[in-house]
Amino acid sequence: MATTTVSKVQVYRNSALVTRKGTLQLKAGANTVYISGLTESTDLNSVRLLTATGVTTADINFVSAASVSTDERQETKEVEQKIETVNFKIQTIKQMMELRMKNANFQNRKDVSVDDQEKYMAELPGHLLSYHDRLFALEDEKSKLDEALARHQAAERENVIKAELIAEAEGEYPFEIKYVEFSANWFPLYEVRYSSDKEPLRVIMKARVNQATREDWIDVKTLLYTGNPSVSNELPKVRRKELGLYEDMPAPPRFASVRAKSCANMLGAGAAMDSCEEAMVLAPVMPQATVSSEETMTVFELPGTKDILSGSDGNIAELSNFEIKAEYRLLTVPAVNDKVFLSAAVKTEDWPFPAANAKIYVKDAFAGEVYVDPETDEDEFELSLGADERVNVSRKESPVKISTVLLKGQKKKECEYTIKLRNTSGDDLKVLVKDSVPVSTDKSITVDIRELSKGEKDDETGVVKWNITAKPGETAELKVAYSIQWPKGKKITENTRY
């Protein structure tokens, strides 16, 4: 049985290409060899055996490890015997504890003196504590033996390469095996750091590498790929479009969908994130990965070699850090949330890497976590940098007035509200304020806008925007007033859509 060690891993987003190395002692002519190292999650169809010059592979197939070597079966049997012994000891101690407790009942016993009873009861706690300590140690030993048994049983199920090799001459020959491992993956993580409105965002891209092969990959060369190989074996085809006639059918009833959504959630402010992280400590500078491009994806080659442990919470590696220009904005939607949020608008084409979660740091303080999505169809995307305490905002609605327009046979509803913003800082601050007025979807309902304080209204959505400059210590006031008219005797409904 030839053993192998992992020398290189090429990790994709949902799999890995593993390279293992070893040596074979071959005689001249035909040789039957067995090579270990494959796991239960290995794609056997992907296995390749690469031999040195002077060695020809005549045949290759796969067998179970248990059918090749008796070592694993013997070790499994030894562990099973140890578990049986430990179980017997545990059962014996439990019986001794029960017997001690049973003998402590002197109610119906006349043959034991009071002095002997007192002596027995005084010694009983010590005996029970001793049993308890021995029981605890045995159960801990059994837990470790159960883990060892599971490993040995899994090793018996693992596949082994059985190869027929023809060597030109006797000697020791190096070889490699390559295969796809489905129990490995990686995903990107970002740290986004904001210092001031006058500086670009500093972004650190990291990778969390995971593998569950039950074998630690020690001192291996590691490459990370931004995609997956061969996502589909079929090329897209142009579909035929056919036209025909049909008769109009009555439209089914429409049911409005109403959703509630807070501005904090909408903007990803991350206010609920655990603040116990090391928010005030800057990440140390680490050697960066070498970035290159292949035909279909980007490759990060990590410097040196890495240890990638199996079954851990993830192995973190730093890939790249860069600065990116952003347009900083203060945004508030007082109808939804009475806070002002600092956001950074980034051009989609400027973000060089895939979508991922990002931890936000504002002047070295951890502010929360957002999702960075540069794969949007929009020209830019926004990152929330959290609530901004420099501006206070309020929205106050006036009492609604409802009247009847007698000559038109209509009802009239008058609405009015005022938005106030106060700049508590010593600097001029640009703030984008958003609100909305109703939009009629029925010709019999009319909306008359009476006041918008120079706001820009989108006629299709009813969204109103104000780009204002809040002066230090001053209060800006915005007023919105409108009226709604509809046929008397009818009822109007108001549905909120996002």
pLDDT digits (tens, 9 = 90+) for 380-396: 888 888 888 899 999 99
Q: Are residues 277 and 337 in the same domain?
A: yes
Q: Would you state the pLDDT for residue 233?
A: 57
Average pLDDT score over residue span 374-379: 84
Cβ atoms of 102 and 71 closer than 8 Å: no
pLDDT digits (tens, 9 = 90+) for 291-323: 776 667 889 999 999 999 998 877 888 888 899
Q: Are residues 168 and 24 in the same domain?
A: yes
pLDDT digits (tens, 9 = 90+) for 194-246: 998 889 999 999 999 999 988 899 999 999 998 887 655 566 677 776 665 55
Q: Are residues 374 and 435 in the same domain?
A: no
Q: Concatenate the DSSP letters of all residues of 363-380 into one string.
A: TTEEEEEEEE-TTSSSSE
Q: 479 burial class (0-12, 13-18, 19+ CB within 10 angstroms)?
A: middle
Query: Which residue segment(s) compose the domain that 443 sits in?
Result: 392-487
In a domain, 411, yes or no: yes
Cβ atoms of 211 and 313 closer than 8 Å: no
Listed residues 341, 360, 385: the one ending a domain:
385
In a domain, 244, yes or no: no
Q: Using the predicted structure, report yes or no on whether residue 249 has a pLDDT greater than 70.
A: no
Q: Are residues 219 and 89 in the same domain?
A: no
Listed residues 385, 410, 439: the one ending a domain:
385
Q: Are residues 301 and 272 in the same domain?
A: yes
Q: Are residues 23 and 139 in the same domain?
A: no
How many residues are there in the chain? 498
Q: Using the predicted structure, report yes or no on whether residue 248 has a pLDDT greater than 90.
A: no
How confident is residue 130, by pLDDT bands cut at 50, 70 and 90? very high
Listed residues 385, 405, 429: the one ending a domain:
385
Q: Are residues 271 and 361 in the same domain?
A: yes
Q: Using the predicted structure, report yes or no on whether residue 69 has a pLDDT greater than 70.
A: no
In a domain, 65, yes or no: yes
Q: Are residues 427 and 477 in the same domain?
A: yes
In a domain, 497, yes or no: no
Cβ atoms of 483 and 434 closer than 8 Å: no
Query: What is the tally of structural domains in the chain?
Result: 4
